[in-house]
Amino acid sequence: MKTVLITGCSSGIGRALCEKYLTKGFHVYASARNIRSLNDLDEHSNLTKLTLDVNSQSSIHNAIAHIKQDNNYLDVLINNAGYAAMGPLADMPLEDLRAQFETNVFAPMELTKACLPFLMAKKELAKKETTKNAQQHNAQVVNIGSVSGITTTPFSGAYCATKAALHSLSDAQRMELAPFGIDVITVQPGAIESKFGDNSLNNVLARITPQSLYAPLKEAIQARATASQDNPTPAAEFADTLVEQLLNNPKAVIRIGNGSFGLPLLKRWLPVAILDKILSKKFNLTSLAKR
């Protein structure tokens, strides 16, 4: 039986991916920092719920040990856990910026390293099988990035930077792990339905004090924090599309969801000055210059 470990399964993309992989006959290791957040995930004979804080070495060790008890290999690792530290960079404490990189960048790299023996074991298992397309037997590391890692917007600089870093590291991983029978796929979603916006909003409200240079733009900052929930693609639809692609010789970079094609095109074709002007106007930064 094929196996998949998914992080950040309490809601949104992670939850939808769990449900989709179960329909494909995978044994799914669904993980979350608080395992109680998985209580409403329907029980299934092929489902194992794990406590996994991606920022904790001991938590990673315990989760890997649990998987090892069941299997000596892993077909797919999906690095999905993450969050968005929104708000003006001038108002963001350094510890918040570091924490953003810890979860969104360093944690997936560390978890991938911990899973390498199980992912590499998949290649050895594949040698015992025959197929017209050996690549279908490769293990997969799937890093969930974002179109925000391509097109940076005001009031989301920290989040955008982590996703850009993850994209770059994924490019290196893809080349470095290929000799060991591991395919690395970078997913760059657009707006996907989740609780992501609510969580981002709660964080940003605490940062915008009356003394902030950006206090007059509080509504615009709040709008950026919840922008991913403005006409989002349903998480189940995203998961259906992604898993089908992952099971059928996927591209190295996959973009799915509302805005996943348009935003990168803006970055590619528009001059920097024009794109800056458009985004500054959208988030009301131009009003500050008039004060």
Domain that holds residue 45: 3-289
How high is the pLDDT of residue 147? 96
How far does the chain reach from its first CA to its final CA, in angstroms?
64
Cβ atoms of 154 and 288 closer than 8 Å: no
How high is the pLDDT of residue 213? 93
How high is the pLDDT of residue 208? 84
| Residue tagged 């590619």 (tokens) | 268
**Three-class secondary structure of residue 233 per DSSP:** strand
Structure pTM? 0.93
Mean pLDDT per 10-residue run, the chain (291 residues)? 96 96 97 94 91 98 95 95 94 96 99 97 70 68 98 95 99 98 97 76 78 90 80 94 97 94 90 96 87 60
- Which tens digits make up the pLDDT trace of 54-93? 999 999 999 999 999 998 899 999 999 999 999 999 999 9
Cβ atoms of 215 and 91 closer than 8 Å: no
| Residue tagged 């290929």 (tokens) | 178
Cβ atoms of 79 and 119 closer than 8 Å: no
How high is the pLDDT of residue 197? 62
User: Which residues make Cβ contacts (< 8 Å) with residue 221, sequence separation at least 6?
Assistant: 86, 87, 88, 155, 204, 208, 214, 283
In DSSP terms, 233 is beta-bridged to: 192
How high is the pLDDT of residue 130? 53
Name all contacts of 236-239 with Cβ < 8 Å and 24+ positions apart: 236/16, 236/19, 236/20, 238/13, 238/16, 238/189, 238/192, 239/13, 239/16, 239/17, 239/19, 239/20
Alpha-carbon distance of 33 to 22, in angstroms, equals 21
The number of folded domains in the chain is 1
Strand intervals (E) in the chain: 3-6, 27-32, 47-51, 76-79, 139-144, 182-187, 253-254
Locate 201 and state its tokens: 């909003």
How high is the pLDDT of residue 8? 96
CATH number, residue 49: 3.40.50.720
Q: Which residues are catalytic?
A: 159
How high is the pLDDT of residue 204? 80
How high is the pLDDT of residue 214? 92
User: Which residues make Cβ contacts (< 8 Å) with residue 25, sequence separation at least 6?
Assistant: 1, 2, 46
- Which tens digits make up the pLDDT trace of 216-251? 998 888 888 877 777 889 999 999 999 999 999 999
How high is the pLDDT of residue 207? 80
